[in-house]
């Protein structure tokens, strides 16, 4: 399955880079690729008696374990925990290795970690993970949150995003909150004025960002923290501003591109309709084909945004892309990028090319 080959390439590149942020980005791309294997397909594969289907199920489970292991080594135990659970849903058993009582205390178990993982994949019964991720049994991950008092000045934009996020997902997150956060939610839930104040603060942050002529990477990163918790009107305002920035700028701003990618990734269902996504893809396709003399970093960021748009299109079953003017030319250009000497660009182009295949053109029966 090409999806699993892309996941393997992504994880291999993530292990090979010294840049932790890039490694985490590659982990995200691997996770996005795996999410393309939908639940009905999982159920069908697990129910199948065919050897090739069982092998494929084991490969998916192992991919989730490898992804979780890498995320744990990068300090993202929350992500690792989620992906280990997904591995179990695919039939793998995520567990710490059983100590060998025949060895002296502190002596290493027989075989390398690679040999253990290979053996686990061969049997299909147990997907082993490194002992240094969860050295002991731990309680479920909790949301650590320092709440502000009503009408009190907030510490930073991250605290504002946390407040709005908890308010939006109150009922689904209550079971993992610490007592302080739970008490804050119970208080603010009945305080309409405080809720409106927090929403207004977010709107003011967005307006300040838009009005600022110099938008550096730090400013973009901070504003994108709010993307998943914005109301639809504010979200679409920010989206239109970033669209205009990419459309009107003679020289592409890499921070705008990264912000565009994060905004689309953080969009709530229903915030982006098919017309939005098609217009965005048309713009990005034009800019991508006009980057002949740009560095591979700019081309990589453009391709990354295209991948995010195509993911959103596949999730919302967008179809009918203009075959002659958009689908075929974009596919051809992405195919050429797969021959780049930059391994990260090769991966991203391959991912985008595969994602494009899941979005039918207007001549597909």
In angstroms, the first-to-last Cα distance of the chain is 24
Q: Where are the domains of the chain?
A: 2-99+113-128, 157-357
In angstroms, rounded to a whole number, what is the distance separating the alpha carbons of residues 328 and 48? 36
Strands 94-95 and 127-128: parallel
Give the pLDDT of residue 321. Answer: 94
Give the pLDDT of residue 114. Answer: 45
**Residue indicated by tokens 């069982």:** 54
In angstroms, rounded to a whole number, what is the distance separating the alpha carbons of residues 233 and 227? 12
Return per-residue pLDDT of the chain as tens, 365 residues. 556 777 887 888 888 787 888 888 888 888 888 887 777 677 777 878 788 778 888 888 888 888 888 888 888 877 888 888 888 888 765 543 333 333 333 333 444 444 444 444 444 444 444 444 444 444 444 445 677 876 778 888 888 888 888 887 655 545 556 777 788 888 888 889 989 999 999 999 999 998 988 778 888 888 888 888 888 999 999 999 999 988 988 777 888 888 888 888 888 878 999 999 999 999 999 999 887 667 788 899 899 999 999 988 988 889 999 999 999 999 999 999 999 888 888 988 999 999 999 899 998 87
In angstroms, rounded to a whole number, what is the distance separating the alpha carbons of residues 299 and 292? 9
pTM of the model: 0.60
Give the pLDDT of residue 131. Answer: 44
Where residue 154 falls (left for φ over 0; alpha for ψ -120 to 50; beta otherwise) is: beta
Give the pLDDT of residue 280. Answer: 95
Angle at 307 between CA 302 and CA 312, to 5 degrees: 130
Tokens coding 126 = 């147990």
Is residue 149 within 8 Å of 180, Cβ to Cβ? no
What CATH architecture applies to the domain 157-357? Answer: Alpha Horseshoe (1.25)
If you count them, how many residues does the chain have? 365
Q: How many Cα atoms occupy the beta-carbon half-sphere of 119 within 13 Å?
A: 10
Tokens coding 338 = 């797969």
Give the pLDDT of residue 170. Answer: 57
In angstroms, rounded to a whole number, what is the distance separating the alpha carbons of residues 220 and 209? 8
Which has the closest alpha carbon to 298: 240, 326, 340? 340
**Residue indicated by tokens 């207004």:** 200
Q: What phi and psi values does residue 94 have, to the nearest 5 degrees?
A: -95, 115
Three-class secondary structure of residue 155 per DSSP: coil
């Amino acid at each position: 399955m090409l999806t699993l080959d892309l996941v393997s390439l992504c994880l291999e590149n993530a292990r090979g880079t010294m840049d932790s942020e890039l490694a985490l980005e590659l982990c995200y791309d691997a996770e996005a690729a795996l999410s393309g294997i939908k639940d009905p397909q999982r159920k069908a594969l697990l129910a199948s008696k065919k050897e090739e289907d069982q092998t494929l199920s084991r490969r998916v489970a192992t991919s989730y374990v490898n992804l979780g292991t890498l995320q744990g080594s990068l300090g993202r135990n929350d992500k690792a925990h989620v992906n280990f659970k997904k591995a179990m849903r695919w039939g793998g058993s995520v567990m710490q290795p059983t100590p060998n009582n025949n060895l002296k205390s502190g002596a290493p178990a027989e075989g390398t970690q690679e040999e253990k993982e290979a053996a686990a994949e061969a049997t299909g019964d147990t997907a082993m993970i490194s002992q240094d991720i969860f050295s002991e049994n731990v309680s479920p991950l909790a949301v650590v949150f320092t709440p502000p008092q009503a009408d009190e000045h907030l510490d930073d934009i991250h605290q504002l995003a946390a407040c709005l996020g908890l308010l939006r997902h109150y009922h689904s997150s209550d079971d993992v909150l610490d007592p302080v956060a739970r008490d804050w939610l119970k208080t603010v839930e009945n305080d309409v004025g405080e809720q409106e104040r927090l929403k207004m603060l977010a709107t003011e942050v967005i307006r300040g960002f838009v009005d600022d002529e110099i938008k550096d990477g730090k400013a973009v990163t901070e504003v994108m923290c709010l993307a998943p918790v914005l109301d639809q009107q504010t979200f679409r305002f920010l989206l239109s501003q970033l669209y205009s920035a990419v459309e009107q700028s003679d020289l592409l701003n890499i921070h705008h591109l990264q912000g565009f990618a994060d905004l689309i990734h953080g969009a709530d269902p229903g915030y982006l309709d098919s017309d939005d996504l098609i217009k965005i893809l048309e713009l990005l396709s034009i800019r991508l084909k006009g980057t002949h003399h740009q560095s591979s970093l700019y081309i990589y960021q453009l391709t990354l945004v295209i991948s995010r748009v195509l993911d959103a299109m596949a999730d919302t079953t967008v179809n009918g892309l203009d075959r002659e003017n958009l689908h075929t030319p974009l596919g051809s250009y992405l195919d050429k990028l797969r021959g780049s000497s930059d391994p990260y660009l090769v991966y991203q182009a391959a991912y985008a090319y595969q994602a494009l295949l899941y979005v039918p053109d207007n001549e597909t029966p």
